[in-house]
Chain A
Amino acid sequence: KQEVTQIPAALSVPEGENLVLNCSFTDSAIYNLQWFRQDPGKGLTSLLLIQSSQREQTSGRLNASLDKSSGRSTLYIAASQPGDSATYLCAVKGPGNTGKLIFGQGTTLQVKP
C-alpha cells in the first residue's frame, strides 16, 4: 500500500530565504508525482507535475525533483515571499489506468516579512 509522508509538517522562514520541502513515498512504482498549493479555505492549485521518467520540473521560483528509486521528491522555493505562505501537498499516482492520487499530509509554510 502506497504511503506518502511530508516533512516537516510546518515551517516558518524569514522572507528571502531559499527553502526545501520534502516528500517521500513507499512504493517506487509511480506514474507521476504532483505538487499542489492550498490556501486556507480554498481548493488545490497544481504547481508542478513530474512524470516518472523525468528528474525535475521548474516553474519560476519553484523547482521540483524526483528520485523514484529512493522514493523521494523535493520542492525547492527560491527567494521566498510572504505570498508563498500556504500549505504544500505532494501526491503520487500509481501505474495503470487509475485516477487515484495518494496525498501526503502537507507542509504548512509561513514566510515572515
Chain B
Amino acid sequence: GAGVSQTPSNKVTEKGKYVELRCDPISGHTALYWYRQSLGQGPEFLIYFQGTGAADDSGLPNDRFFAVRPEGSVSTLKIQRTERGDSAVYLCASSQDSFYGYTFGSGTRLTVV
C-alpha cells in the first residue's frame, strides 16, 4: 500500500481482556517495528521483525505481550490480560531494511478501563 496502515485506530477494552492490534506495512518493506508511546513521551521500542522472524524483541515489557508476522508482511501485536498501564498509542513502522529511514503508521490508541 501507499503507507503503513494500522487497525483499529482506537480500541477500548476492559481490564483483563485480550486484544490484537494489526499493522499492514508498505509493500516490499522487509523490516517492521512496533513502538509504544505514552502521553507526553517519545515512542519506546517494543519489537523489530526482519521478514518473518523477530530480530529483536528486547522491548516487550513482559510475557503478556507477543507479536507475530507469519508471512513477512502483516503483523499482529497481541496483549493478554490487559492492564490499565497498557493504555498508550501503539505505533507500527516499516522500512526497506533496518538501515533505511522509517515510515510510521497513525497508530492504535489503546485504552484499558
Complex contact A46–B56 (CB within 8 A): no
Q: Which chain B residues lie closer than 8 Å to A104 at the CB level?
A: 42
Q: Which chain B residues lie closer than 8 Å to A61 at the CB level?
A: none
Complex contact B102–A43 (CB within 8 A): no
A31: CB under 8 A from chain B? Answer: yes
The contact size tier of chain B is: 20 to 34
B91: CB under 8 A from chain A? Answer: yes
Least CB distance, A66 to chain B, in whole angstroms? 14
Q: Which of B30-60 contact A (CB under 8 A)?
A: 31, 33, 35, 40-45, 48, 50, 55-56, 58-59
Q: Which chain A residues lie closer than 8 Å to B98 at the CB level?
A: 93, 97-99
Q: Interface size of A by Cβ–Cβ distance < 8 Å?
A: 25
Complex contact B101–A34 (CB within 8 A): yes
A34: nearest chain-B partner, CB-CB = B101
Among A34, A91, A98, A105, point to the contact of B56 (Cβ < 8 A): A98
Q: Is the interface of A mostly helix, strand, loop or mixed?
A: strand
Q: Which of A69-113 contact B (CB under 8 A)?
A: 89, 91, 93, 97-106
Q: How many angstroms from the CA of A67 to the CA of B40 in the assembled complex?
A: 27
Complex contact A44–B59 (CB within 8 A): no
B106: nearest chain-A partner, CB-CB = A43
Question: Looking at B40, B43, B95, which has the most chain A CB atoms within 10 Å of its CB?
Answer: B43
